[in-house]
Structure 1
């Protein structure tokens, strides 16, 4: 099954695979809180900064994934579907994950809202 979500990555709109991470855990181990998860697979400080604005709504996780070195990051919705994904080495900006975060989880904390 695939939802028609914006984004060109093959994982976007699909059920997120239960990735094995370098610390020995699996992605599913980090989803028990019922919140979304922003998985940073390249230790990207800009991605972590984006996640910081969604504290309490999105859990950030920086980890490696030995069996999917092609992935740079994945935003997993609470229903375990991929809202955004990007490949390592691809020319990406934080616009993709920022748009997906705002679409699914509202404006980040501290953001200016039109008055």
Structure 2
């Protein structure tokens, strides 16, 4: 299950970020994306116009990098695996560009795996 970055920020404290990150190839289905680009942009935090501008700037950056693979090599998605859920901490617009513009089926990400208990003792 995919959650927004706002949800990830609400779950993790700054000290939780001192984790070992592992490179993963994440299937696009794990992100449960909207059925089309417009719906995806509308579901993001902020307004549709702002998200469209950000999306376009990421698209330009990916184009300058020579495609989605080199762009994600330079700046991969950051994710947490927590309680069976995939939480995207960073990379909303890169995720959308990879899927809707480049038809990506899986994405390179850095994932924090095997998180310590978040309940606190």
What TM-score, normalized to structure 1?
0.26
Higher percent of residues as helix: 2
| Greater RCO (Cα-Cα under 8 Å, separation 6 or more) | 2
Higher percent of residues as strand: 2
What TM-score, normalized to structure 2?
0.25
Task: Say which one has the larger Rg.
Answer: 2
